[in-house]
Amino acid sequence: MVAATAVAALAGCSSPDFRDAICSSGEYPVLTVNGTGSACVKNGERPPAGYTRYPEGKVPQHVDDKWDVYWRTHTLDENGHVVDARSAG
C-alpha cells in the first residue's frame, strides 16, 4: 500500500499538465521594450520604465508555452509593434 501511494505521488509530479507559471499568483508578465527580457509586476501596478505589457492574446502563461517560446525571438518596439528581436534596439 505504501509503495502504491509513493508511485501515485510520483506519477502526479510528472504529469504533462504540470508546468511552471511565468509569474506568481497576483502578478502579470511584462516584456522589455526592444529586447527579450521579461519581468513580473504586481497586479494593479504599471510596468517599470523600459517594460511593456504583452499584446492581448499573446501573453505567456507557462514556461515553454507557445507565447513564451515566441517571445524569445520577437519583441515590441517603442511604438508597440512586434519586431524580430535580433534586429531590435
Instruction: Answer whether 22's CB lies under 8 Å from 61's CB.
Output: yes
Closest to 44 (Cα-Cα) out of 63, 27, 23: 27
Q: Is 10 a member of any domain?
A: no
- Whether 3 is in a domain gets the answer no
5 falls within a domain: no
Residue 4 placed within a domain: no
Our count of domains for the chain comes to 1
Which residue range forms the structural domain that includes residue 69?
20-87
User: Does some domain include residue 15?
Assistant: no
63 in a structural domain: yes
Specify if 56 maps to a domain: yes
Q: What is the pLDDT along the chain (89 residues), one digit of tens a residue?
A: 555 444 444 444 444 557 899 999 999 999 999 999 999 999 999 999 999 999 999 999 999 999 999 999 999 999 999 999 988 76
Q: How far apart, in Å, do the first and last CA atoms of the chain sit? A: 59
46 within some domain:
yes
The pTM score is 0.76
Chain position carrying cell 499568483: 25
- Helix or strand run (H / E) with residue 51: strand 51-53
